[in-house]
Amino acid sequence: MTSTKMNENTRALGPEEKVAPVHNMIERDFASELIEAPENIVIKESYIVPRMGESYTSYTDSFMNLELLKRGEREVFKFQQSINGHLTEETYDLIRTDSLTPETLASTNPKWTKITAEPRYLFLKRRYYRDNNGLIHDHLRKDKIVCEPVYVFDMIMGCHLMNNHGFVKKIHHSLSTFYSNITRDLCLKALKFCSVCNPEQKIGKLEKFKHRNIYNELMPLERVHIEIFEPFPNEKIEKKYSHILYCRDYHSRYIWMLPLKNTKFKHLVPTMASLFLSFIRQPIFIETASLDWQDMFDICEKIAFEYDLQIGLGTSKPNTFHAAGIRQMKAKLEAHREECLLSWNLCLKYGSYDHNIRHNDRAGGVPGDLLSSQIQECSLKFKEKIIQILENAVSESVLRVDNGLIFLEVDEPHDEPHDEPYDEFQFEGDQSIDEEDMGAVMPPATEADAQDSMSLTEAYMTDGLPKPRVSKRLIDRQDTSEISGPLTSYYEETHDSIISKKHKTDDYVEMESNSSMKL
């Protein structure tokens, strides 16, 4: 049932214009281009894209290793046939010829029967459709065209050669604008077979890309980040709530959300206290990117005082992990804007609830399941770690507030892994779902969202976030109408000792001892 390639004159999609390629003998490390330093390539405009069915051989040069390209054509085709969520050539033909039935689908796989093929048949009918021009579209990927599997290598390599041996990232961006099944991983693998860009011509076995949980070493609730954002600027949920208090666990990616009428201190304290008191275990370290650090300290100090809690404040810098979480949640709510504005419960349904019950590739499981991890004696290890942290902490980093306690992270905080931007960002064309996944999938972030991975300021001082206080030298502790109301005086005097131990910059809180406080 495998179709033969179309001839050069048969073209289904692509720009009318073609340009003669001009090749430069430049050796490039595609892996570093794509994974280690994605910000090095700024996408300002798309590459010229070949038409589906057009052979890459029209753009090769005599000095290129054509045997290597032929090998790549065979291996990439075989590799993509094994990827879950991608159509095989046989299945593509069934959909294109309108002959997809449980029986014909079962005939493509000797392990299937009509009964076992039925669920997959229903999914394929729901996800794909053929237009009047005979092109297959993918409902799950914004109705983009599905490139016929036998032409995927031609499409990638043709785009590469037409654009002077173009970069991996820009090739993926250009092709994924049209096609739903052109992924970054396929582009990276296909371009390894270009003898100009890979002069050593050493190519290992093509293996499936596997996401890994970069925070797997942390225990559930060992470290969380709390953010405040405005989901619908200038509009309120149920005409009452303008902001959302958002909390996410690093290890499991489990999310909690609570509504906020505004970002005033008197509203933040009880809402955040409700969050802390609802945890199955109090997190060891809490971080924030959207709240001013000193405001966060004041809020936690008041909560620790009123409810006798032990609260640890992490001191790592805001990073793309925080920003991506906020952006992803705002996109989920925006997709159901009208319903969410009418009901806070629907915000929970389409936001945190939907996220927590679905498999998360980056976490390596379902957030709800991972939160109650299989770590043996997790509670005991959790308590032992807190005791160890407090024993190793310098006295200046621990503040006792009546029966409550606040401690600051003194050890070198974790650095953001190099692949973290890809931990949360879903770029156009990425395929991270299986064909068996029958549910709706969040639309990936646009290239503009991910461009340059955002500066630190852009990453957390986004629209809808509360503004930090103007003055940090307030003396009276009173709940004012602004978030900048209260302020402790536990700064400055011990600043040098803590910062020197942590090797941190002035971004961290300045502390001074207070004679009225018991250490």
| Residues paired with 287 in a beta bridge | 225
CB proximity list for 453: less than 8 A, separation 6 or greater: 38, 39, 320, 421
**pLDDT given for residue 425 in this prediction:** 33
* Neighbour-count burial for 32-50, b at 16+ CB within 10 Å, e otherwise: ebbbeebeebebeebbbbb
Secondary structure (3-state) at 433: coil
Residue ranges of the alpha helices (H) in 59-165?
66-80, 89-96, 102-106, 114-127, 152-162
CB proximity list for 94: less than 8 A, separation 6 or greater: 1, 100, 104, 105, 108
Q: What are phi and psi of 167, to 5 degrees?
A: -75, 150
Q: What are phi and psi of 304, to 5 degrees?
A: -60, -35
Half-sphere exposure of 65 (CA within 13 A, CB side): 18
Q: Are 217 and 278 in contact (CB under 8 A)?
A: no
pTM assigned to the model: 0.53
CB proximity list for 332: less than 8 A, separation 6 or greater: 350, 351, 354, 355, 442
Instruction: Locate 514 and state its tokens.
Output: 């207070």
d(CA 330, CA 312): 27
> How do 310-313 and 404-408 pair as beta strands?
parallel
d(CA 491, CA 519): 14
Half-sphere exposure of 297 (CA within 13 A, CB side): 23
**pLDDT given for residue 45 in this prediction:** 65
Query: For the chain, what are the domain ranges?
Result: 30-191, 223-417+455-502
Each residue's pLDDT tens digit in the chain (519 positions)? 444 454 443 333 443 333 333 333 334 444 444 333 333 333 446 789 999 989 999 999 999 999 999 999 999 999 988 888 889 999 999 999 999 999 999 998 888 888 888 999 999 999 999 999 999 999 988 899 999 999 999 999 999 999 999 999 899 999 998 999 999 889 999 999 999 998 988 887 777 666 566 677 788 888 999 999 999 999 999 999 999 999 999 989 999 999 999 999 989 999 999 999 999 888 989 999 888 888 999 999 999 999 999 999 987 766 778 888 899 999 999 999 999 999 999 999 999 999 999 888 778 788 988 887 766 667 777 777 777 777 777 667 788 888 898 988 876 545 444 334 333 333 333 333 333 232 322 333 333 333 333 333 333 333 344 444 433 332 233 333 345 454 443 333 333 443 343 333 333 333 333 333 333
* Neighbour-count burial for 163-179, b at 16+ CB within 10 Å, e otherwise: bebbbbbbbbbbbbebb
**pLDDT given for residue 421 in this prediction:** 37
Best CATH choice for the domain 223-417+455-502 from the list 1.10.10.1100, 1.20.1250.20, 3.30.420.10, 3.40.50.1470: 3.30.420.10
Cα distances (angstroms) measured from residue 276 to each of 207, 283, 297: 43, 8, 14
